[in-house]
């Protein structure tokens, strides 16, 4: 294992959104530099990073130049093209490693990986056409959700099937993309575990947060989640199991459904996660610093929770509430510096300390 990255070393971050931005801020607090690679113009992370490369993931010369300028490479999103990773990997370590990306880029691969580990998920089936969908609906039943295997986020690329009559329209909604059918889980709540693993194999998990989604988008995360002691232990242990199986280095978000029959894994994200933003104001070391520490080969920090917190996403027009939010007591505002407000676009979030 190589040494702890020293002051002035540079972390390369693939993706320049708000997660890359908050990773850059955390890195700078530790005396580390960041270089962001992002195809889009004026990325939120670019406002705070030390350097930005604006180029496409198909531009292999730009990728090679970027890699040569950094000490280690991490990322804020999982859909990095394989060919780009091939170029980068030759030049610098990529943390978390490629196995985590391979598994989490595709919902079918991901669910197969999880069930092979002995973890439980919603019932699922690979869908390639109308016949396989009809056959899967026979077994899984309704309600069910058809999802594209790749590139889905914030509930995009999903269609609900309440009865067999919805099947044809749902398949049409996939626009020919490979898909997976999932049985609808009657969960009592959704929680997520933000877990970290360092190169020496230490694992640390933040306290699970309880998530409320609206229209497929995360609205709030609240800690502590309403979980029994056993459920909390189960949640943390299963997250650790996933990280160990992948020989993972960095922070991962694991989304879970809580049901009377136990915990089901919904999905995992090999990166810092929106449902972990509360850690910025509830823990000594937040998820962003924890990720930077792991990637930079530092020891993991103390992520124990010292406050009850509710994180609320500011989506689209929510930003109009900024004057009132700025006057609220016990409320920390985190804005992403995004120019255009669009419906469904994450503009920022607030963390409210909950006092009993």
Give the residues lining the site for ligand ADP (CB under 6 A): 122, 145, 152-155, 182, 184-185, 190, 213, 216, 255, 266-267
For the bound state, the minimum distance from the C-beta of residue 143 to ligand ADP, rounded and expressed in Å, comes to 8
Q: Annotated binding residue at 184?
A: yes
Q: How far apart are the first and last CA of the chain?
A: 45
For the bound state, the minimum distance from the C-beta of residue 274 to ligand ADP, rounded and expressed in Å, comes to 9
For the bound state, the minimum distance from the C-beta of residue 204 to ligand ADP, rounded and expressed in Å, comes to 24
Q: Annotated binding residue at 346?
A: no
According to DSSP H, which parts of the chain are helical?
18-29, 60-68, 82-89, 98-104, 107-116, 130-140, 167-173, 229-245, 279-282, 287-295, 322-327
Of 28 and 115, the one with the shorter C-beta distance to ligand ADP is 115
Of 190 and 207, the one with the shorter C-beta distance to ligand ADP is 190
Of 59 and 154, the one with the shorter C-beta distance to ligand ADP is 154
Q: Annotated binding residue at 182?
A: yes
Write out the DSSP string of 83-110: HHHHHHHTTS-BSS-HHHHHHHTSHHHH
Strand 158-161 vs strand 144-148: parallel, antiparallel, or unpaired?
A: antiparallel
Q: How far is CA 57 from CA 15, 237, 269, in A?
A: 10, 36, 20
For the bound state, the minimum distance from the C-beta of residue 182 to ligand ADP, rounded and expressed in Å, comes to 4
User: Distance between CA 49 and CA 315 in Å, rounded?
Assistant: 24
Of 153 and 306, the one with the shorter C-beta distance to ligand ADP is 153
Q: Annotated binding residue at 281?
A: no
User: Distance between CA 81 and CA 97 in Å, rounded?
Assistant: 14
For the bound state, the minimum distance from the C-beta of residue 287 to ligand ADP, rounded and expressed in Å, comes to 17
Contact 290, 321 (CB under 8 A): no
Of 211 and 281, the one with the shorter C-beta distance to ligand ADP is 211
- State both tokens at 254: 């694991």
Q: Annotated binding residue at 116?
A: no
Q: Annotated binding residue at 154?
A: yes
Which residue ranges are tagged as binding site for ATP?
A: 107, 147, 152-158, 182-185, 190, 213, 266-267
């Amino acid at each position: 294992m190589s040494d702890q990255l020293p002051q002035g070393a540079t972390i390369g971050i693939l993706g320049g959104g708000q997660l890359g931005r908050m990773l850059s801020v955390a890195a700078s607090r530790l005396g580390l530099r960041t270089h962001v690679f992002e195809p889009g113009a004026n990325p939120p992370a670019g406002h705070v990073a030390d350097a930005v490369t604006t180029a496409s993931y198909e531009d292999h010369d730009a990728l090679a130049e970027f890699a040569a300028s950094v000490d280690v490479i991490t990322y804020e999103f999982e859909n990095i093209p394989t060919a780009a990773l091939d170029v980068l990997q030759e030049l610098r370590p990529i943390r978390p490693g490629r196995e985590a990306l391979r598994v989490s880029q595709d919902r079918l691969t991901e669910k197969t990986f999880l069930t092979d580990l002995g973890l439980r998920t919603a019932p699922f089936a690979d869908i390639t056409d109308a016949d396989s969908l009809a056959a899967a609906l026979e077994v899984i039943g309704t309600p069910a959700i058809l999802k594209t295997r790749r590139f889905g986020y914030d509930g995009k690329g999903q269609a609900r099937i309440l009865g067999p009559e919805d099947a044809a329209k749902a398949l049409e909604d996939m626009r020919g993309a490979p898909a997976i059918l999932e049985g609808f889980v009657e969960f009592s709540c959704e929680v997520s575990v933000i877990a970290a693993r360092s190169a020496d194999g230490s694992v640390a998990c933040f306290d699970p947060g309880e998530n409320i989604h609206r229209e497929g988008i995360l609205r709030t995360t609240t800690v502590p989640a309403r979980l029994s002691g056993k459920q909390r232990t189960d949640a943390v242990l299963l997250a650790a199991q996933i990280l160990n199986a992948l020989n993972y280095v960095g922070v991962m978000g694991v989304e879970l459904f809580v049901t009377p029959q136990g915990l089901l894994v919904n999905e995992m994200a090999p990166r810092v996660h929106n449902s972990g933003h509360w850690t910025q104001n509830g823990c000594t070391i937040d998820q962003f610093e924890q990720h930077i520490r792991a990637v930079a080969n530092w020891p993991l920090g103390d992520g124990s929770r010292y406050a009850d917190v509710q994180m609320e996403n500011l989506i689209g027009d929510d930003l109009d509430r900024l004057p009132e939010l700025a006057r609220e007591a016990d409320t920390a505002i985190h804005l992403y510096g995004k120019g255009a407000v669009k419906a469904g676009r994450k503009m920022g979030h607030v963390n409210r300390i909950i006092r009993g």
